[in-house]
Amino acid sequence: MRKYIIQKSEEGQTLEKYIQKLLKSAPNSFIYKLFRKKDIKVNGHHEDRKFVVSENDEIAVYIKEEQFEEFLKEKGYEANNQIQDWIVYEDENVLFINKPRGLLVQKSAPQDESLDQMVVEYLIYKGEYDPNKELAFKPGPAHRLDRNTSGIVVFGKNHQSLELLFELFKNHDLINKHYLALVVGQMEKDKDTINAPLRKDEKTNTVTVASLERGGKTAKTVYKVMKKYEDYSLLDVTLLTGRTHQIRVHLAYINHPIIGDEKYGDFQANRIFKNKYGFNKQFLHAYKIGFGDLPKPLTNLSRKEFVAEPREEIANILTMLDNNKEGE
């Protein structure tokens, strides 16, 4: 038998979810059996698996020591503050990071470097997170950006904040995200909404426009032209839905693909741009995020906007484009 004390960051989740996160390698059938046999107690009492845990609750789990060793996973983290210069905003509940292009938000393979691991190690460095105590919660991202998209990624530092952030990003009514996108050609309209359902092929990890009848899911993207150049347009893009690769596929669909997009882009246009400006990377940056009136624990974010300035490589390209425009 082992006992655990619920930390502040872990409260608000069900007892079942806590045990699932605690015994990470245990099958659900084993966990359900623990509840049926009443081998889990909260503050000395048997509780239903839907019981919501609170800070300082004592959880006792009655299984053999060798089973603990089998089901508990060690966390391989090293405290460091390497992301300190990437922080856009931080408080006790959330952390906004200006992610560089080329970095995964979450690992796709064990050897990958990822932003979520860096955030955990930063919070360990600050003394705000202890993986040896908070066994059923890990600070994590509320959404993702593609590896080759830079910009703001929002992390929750505790269970309550992360759950609320998940809801905000799912519903889109109290949150708005803005992206900078440099696309091929001059836009016909200065502002428009792209309304085209999208379907993802899980085997190839590619997304195509497809009708709802053919398995597509509703997808809406709003764009506004910020600047027009001779052969390109700089857009402010806002998502009304959150489909995989949505911005990239929608802009390619209207024949204005993003510069440097290797999957959905115009390869000839990418080569021309590389030869002229020495830039062959995806020109998509999540630069701004804003919030409506939010409930606790995220009231600090209510009616605020946060901006992540483009990194030097993107800023330099915009300067060169502006200089070329002035010389026309």
CA 30, CA 25: separation in Å to the nearest integer? 10
pLDDT at 327: 47
Domain spans of the chain, in order of start: 2-71, 75-171, 174-328
Positions in the chain whose pLDDT score sits under 50: 327
Q: Is 152:289 a contact under the CB 8 Å cutoff?
A: yes
- Domain 174-328: give its CATH code: 3.30.2350.10
Tell me how many helices (H) and strands (E) the chain has.
8, 16
pLDDT at 73: 61
CATH classification (class only), 75-171: alpha beta
pLDDT at 109: 66
Which residues are known to be catalytic? Answer: 146
- Name the architecture of domain 2-71: Roll (3.10)
Strands (E), 69-127: 87-90, 94-99
**Amino acid in the structure at residue 107:** K
Q: Which tokens is 319 given?
A: 């300067």
Same fold, 2-71 and 174-328: no
For the chain, the C-alpha Rg in angstroms (whole number) is 23
Inter-CA distances, 34 with 40, 45, 62, 154, Å: 7, 14, 8, 35
Among 96, 95, 113, which Cα is nearest to 104's?
113
pTM for the complete prediction? Answer: 0.81
Identify whether 297 is preceded by a cis peptide bond (ω within 30 of 0). Answer: yes
Beta strands at 150-156 and 94-99: parallel, antiparallel or unpaired: antiparallel
Q: Which residue has the tokens 């209510």?
A: 302
pLDDT at 75: 53
